[in-house]
Amino acid sequence: MNCYAGEDGFIVNKRFGVANSGRVDSVGKVRIGSVFAQMAHLPVVDHTHLGEDLSLEKFLSLVEYKTFHKCKDTTQSGLYLTSESDISIDNLQGVCTIHTNRDVKINLRTVGSAKLVINAPNATVSMNLKSLHDESFIHCKNLEILVGENFNACKIYDIGQGKTIKTTVDDDTAKLVSKHAPTLHILSEHNALDVKVMSDFEILRQQIMSKLDQKNKTASSK
């Protein structure tokens, strides 16, 4: 499946499923309710993980390869998404690559069981991270990640700072992170990585407020 959307953008209010592979290129805003990309047959996890000590050069080369190799190879799985405007996805699950060079906002309200590549060095990204299926990569300008209390579903590694981000104040919970747990590798161009540990209620409240704000902006622009 391949789709090109012009200035009116690409809008799917409910579920957008990608059985194997699909591509969406949009000039206007992208707004999707739920993305389920290759969820029926997720790729086998490679437990020979890269580790957390990726050099800046290796990280950038991996992101470029995973972005543009997938762009050219139509046999690659999952959703490949590009946009020249803001991107908003309420629920993202499965295999997804997002690419843009524009100064836009990418809002992923819930990310779960995902294998994710975001190559958007000029974009501001925000997400509520529940879990990862496999190693994932984000290259952006600014990034805000919300995680629940005592989050241990994956590791979050800041390439720029060269350190793993602590997501729990409970040392016993931190020890439960498996050695095989996937890592989210992040490079923020402005060293602006903000990981917020919040209660489920606080996260839900913030998501509702964000959704209402988006609806008000959409209504006022009509």
Residues 34-87 have pLDDT tens digits of 999 987 677 666 655 555 556 777 788 888 877 776 555 544 579 999 999 999
Q: What whole-number distance in Å separates Cα of residue 102 and Cα of residue 89? A: 18
Give the range of the structural domain holding residue 126, as residue numbers without chain letter: 9-42+55-221
Does residue 3 sit within a domain?
no
For residue 136, being part of any structural domain is answered with: yes
Count of beta carbons in the 10 Å neighbourhood of residue 142: 17
Q: Give the global pTM.
A: 0.85
Residue 130 has pLDDT above 80, yes or no: yes
Residue 49 located in a structural domain: no
- Residues 11-29 have pLDDT tens digits of 999 999 998 889 999 999 9
Nearest residue to 182 via CA among 75, 84, 47, 65: 47
Q: How many folded domains does the chain comprise?
A: 1
